Amino acid sequence: MSLDHPDLMSSLQLAYSAERAAAIAYVGHARSLRNESEREHVRSIERDEWDHRRHILAIMEEYRIPVSHWLEIKHFVIGKLIGAACHVIGRFMPYFFAGKLESGNVCQYFVMIQHFRSLGISKHDELLWEMGMKEKDHEVYFLQMVSNERWLPWFERVFHWGKTSSSNNVDPDTDVQMSLAEVHRSCDS
């Protein structure tokens, strides 16, 4: 079966490649950390990103959506550069920018649910929901790691992410899946 939804197809291709970039970047991020428990937590997040990539590929294969070679190359390079930069930019910035990135990733999966639903397909809802909520968990962790840093207020003002701002207003403690309308509102903030 193929999909007649260019936005959904592009979203899947982008997410597939971006998850690779994130995983590769987290390899460098983990290696740059001195604290073993922090290093292990970032490695766990890296494993989540590889899992997301596998799930996205399975969905893409089901609908015969090709992998974008251009996005694969581009995001491989991005991931390597970010991973290498983690060794020279200190502890704060890798955590801060990872949190900002994960904040936006929450909604990409919820928007995919909306796109699939517009085609009458709901069988991926649970998986996409779980991946979006896992991205929210990552965002929350990264924010916790920088919440007491002196640079956070300035970075939050400039980059619009931190204690008082996010790319979503998803509540990670909710046990009930939000309605599609609530998802839409959560991802428009």
Lowest-pLDDT range of 16-20, 146-150, 162-166: 162-166
The pLDDT score that the predictor gives to residue 161 is 93
Radius of gyration of the chain (CA): 17
Q: What integer pLDDT is reported at residue 189 of this predicted model?
A: 47
What percentage of the chain reaches a pLDDT higher than 70? 91
Whole-angstrom CA distances from 79 to 92, 110, 143 are: 18, 24, 21
Distance (Å, rounded) from C-alpha 77 to C-alpha 24?
A: 9
Looking at residue 132, its pLDDT comes to 93
110/56 Cα distance (integer angstroms): 13
Span 129-153, average pLDDT: 95
Closest CA to 68 of 13, 3, 8, 6: 13
pLDDT confidence tier of residue 174, bands split at 50, 70 and 90: low
User: Which residue in the block uniquely carries the two structure tokens 């085609």?
Assistant: 119
Mean pLDDT of 8-29: 97
pLDDT tens for each residue of 57-89: 999 999 999 999 999 999 999 999 999 999 999
Topology of domain 6-186, CATH: Ferritin (1.20.1260)
User: Does pLDDT of 182 surpass 60?
Assistant: yes
Give the pLDDT of residue 129. Answer: 92
Question: Residue 174: helix, strand or coil by DSSP?
Answer: coil
Show me where the domains of the chain are located: 6-186
Strands (E), 80-185: none
